[in-house]
Amino acid sequence: MPAYLSTYGRVMDLMPEIILILEKNGRIIDWNRQAGEMFGLRRGDKLATIDRLVAPGQPDEVLRSLSMAQVVPSEEVRVVRSDGGVLDMRYEIKPLHGPKGEVRVLIGRDITLDKQKELDLLRFSNVIQHTINPIQITDASGRMVYVNPAFERASGYTREELLGQNPRMLSSGKHAREFWGGVWKHINSGKLWTGRVENRRKDGAPFHTELVISPIMDAGGKVVGFLGAHRDITEQIILEQQLVRSQRMESIGTLAAGIAHEVGNPLTAISSLVQVLQRTVQDPFATEKLGLINSQINRIAKIIRDLVDFSRPSTHVSKPTDLNQILNDALNIVKYGKKVKDVTFSLDLDGQLPAIRIVPDQIVQVFINVLMNAVDALEGRPGTITVSSRSAESVIDIAVSDTGKGIPSGEVDKIFEPFYTTKGVGRGTGLGLWVSYGIVKSFNGDILVESIPGEGSLFTIRLPRNT
């Protein structure tokens, strides 16, 4: 029995590690049972050298240091078992002084499984890093410990700002306290939760997601954290809201057509009777009052015309039109108004605008409405109205921005509703935008609004190029 391992019998055989005793030239002169079985070493096989065990394709320097049994603190190498299987081994080589001089001891550990796990983890984290789905992981107390780049993009916050915080920081305030209470109770009991949530981005914009929260459990079944995987449905929600809005507009349109018809006919009758009376009556008092009646009738008639415009399919013919030309026509009309003397109009028109098929009379009305609103928003104070046209791949955007009073964020949705006005009686009917929206929609376009109260508003009239 070789002297090195004899003192306590084959104590080394009880160790889980692979132990090889090497000469300085790499020859294997003894081993424990683990190593013997793994590499199929036999006692008579005096010529076995360490490099025979190494799998092909290993780095040269590792091979060299191994074959010279150099002392190393910690290294990795891939070795081949006697049954042909390949395993990853982490090892160290230490010097040992024995009766016949110095030898080297290699102590190795099979790390194949660890490596596999490491690789799995790497793959997993790569998937999470690159998926388009926003993902967050919290600890058991609900503090975020991981967020992926998609989550940073969706929320507008950086990793640094998010980690350590409770997901509550993204709360939109749209869900009641009981809602989140219920969610926490559910997931804390180890169950999966799925639902739609509305969050708020750093810039204040809403971001809607479909969220799956799954508890992360340790081997003992204890909840140690939560995985929240989102699917961004903001786009979808916006489309849904637009659909609801245009459906609502449609039903209001039908109603308006009915009213316009029912009110319009008697109004025409009244109007002609008034005109008959005006021509025949001599009494100055009566004449004056008839004049007042007439102007009030005209006011109603204008409203009726707007209602009809909105609801009646256009009888005008559409033709290829240069929107810049229409914009100029609208500006010329608006600039004649009394209120524009302190207004600076700034123009930024795209000279390459392609002509599109629309009804010029209708679109000019839209531009006039939006421009008049911009003038009104300045409320007589000096200010600037910027008008621009831009052509993109599939749409043309006409943007009108003003430096006026702006629209409170809660009101932006309402401004397209009929009869919504913030202007005094007789100064606005609240039909301008409603009519404009109806017209633009009939060309499959859209009107987009951005506004900052106290700073101004931007109205973008978007028309598709292929009408």
Ligand X SMILES: Nc1ncnc2c1ncn2[C@@H]1O[C@H](COP(=O)(O)OP(=O)(O)OP(=O)(O)O)[C@@H](O)[C@H]1O
- CA count, 13 A, side-chain hemisphere, 115: 12
State both tokens at 133. Answer: 């789905």
- Going by C-alpha positions, the residue among 302, 222, 310 that lies closest to residue 267 is 302
Please identify, using beta-carbon distances, which residue of 87 and 431 lies nearer to ligand X.
431
- Going by C-alpha positions, the residue among 214, 220, 218 that lies closest to residue 188 is 214
**Part in contact with ligand X (CB under 6 A); list of ranges 39-47, 147-155, 170-178, 404-412:** 404-412
Please identify, using beta-carbon distances, which residue of 20 and 431 lies nearer to Mg ion.
431
Please identify, using beta-carbon distances, which residue of 323 and 433 lies nearer to ligand X.
433
Q: CA torsion angle for 47, 53, 55, 58 (degrees, to 10)?
A: -80
- Going by C-alpha positions, the residue among 364, 261, 358, 353 that lies closest to residue 316 is 358
Binding residue for ligand X, selected from 377, 398, 461, 463, defined by CB under 6 A: 377
d(CA 287, CA 291): 6
- Whose CB is nearest to ligand X? 432
Mark 78-113 as b/e (b = at least 16 C-beta within 10 Å).
bbbeeeeeebbbebebeeeeeeeeebbbbbbebbee
Please identify, using beta-carbon distances, which residue of 213 and 377 lies nearer to ligand X.
377
Q: Does 360 bind Mg ion (CB under 5 A)?
A: no
For the beta carbon of residue 437, count every other beta carbon within 10 angstroms. 24
Q: Does 213 bind ligand X (CB under 6 A)?
A: no
d(CA 429, CA 307): 11
Binding residue for ligand X, selected from 387, 415, 440, 463, defined by CB under 6 A: 415
- Residue 374 contacts which entry, Mg ion, ligand X, none (Cβ below 5-8 A, type-dependent): ligand X
Nearest distance from C-beta of residue 250 to ligand X, angstroms: 17
Binding residue for ligand X, selected from 252, 433, 447, 461, defined by CB under 6 A: 433
Nearest distance from C-beta of residue 360 to ligand X, angstroms: 20
- Residue 423 contacts which entry, ligand X, Mg ion, none (Cβ below 5-8 A, type-dependent): ligand X
For the beta carbon of residue 228, count every other beta carbon within 10 angstroms. 21
Q: Does 373 bind Mg ion (CB under 5 A)?
A: yes
Binding residue for Mg ion, selected from 432, 438, 445, 456, defined by CB under 5 A: 432
Q: Does 418 bind Mg ion (CB under 5 A)?
A: no
Residue 21 contacts residue 4 (beta carbons within 8 Å): yes
Binding residue for ligand X, selected from 136, 138, 457, 460, defined by CB under 6 A: 457
State both tokens at 141. Answer: 């107390």
Residues that bind Mg ion (rule: CB under 5 A) add up to a total of 2
d(CA 69, CA 96): 12
- CA count, 13 A, side-chain hemisphere, 347: 10
**Part in contact with Mg ion (CB under 5 A); list of ranges 51-59, 256-264, 282-290, 367-375:** 367-375
Binding residue for ligand X, selected from 105, 147, 374, 396, defined by CB under 6 A: 374
Residues facing residue 215 across a β-bridge: 226
Residues facing residue 443 across a β-bridge: none
Q: Does 146 bind ligand X (CB under 6 A)?
A: no
Residues that bind ligand X (rule: CB under 6 A) add up to a total of 22
- For residue 146, CA distances in Å to 163, 284, 341 come to 7, 84, 58
Nearest distance from C-beta of residue 335 to ligand X, angstroms: 17
Binding residue for ligand X, selected from 249, 304, 407, 439, defined by CB under 6 A: 407
Residues facing residue 344 across a β-bridge: 384
Q: Does 429 bind ligand X (CB under 6 A)?
A: yes
Q: Site map for ligand X, 340-369, x if CB under 6 A?
A: -----------------------------x
Q: Which residues bind ligand X (CB under 6 A)?
A: 369, 373-374, 377, 402, 404-407, 415, 420-423, 428-434, 457
Q: Which residues bind Mg ion (CB under 5 A)?
A: 373, 432
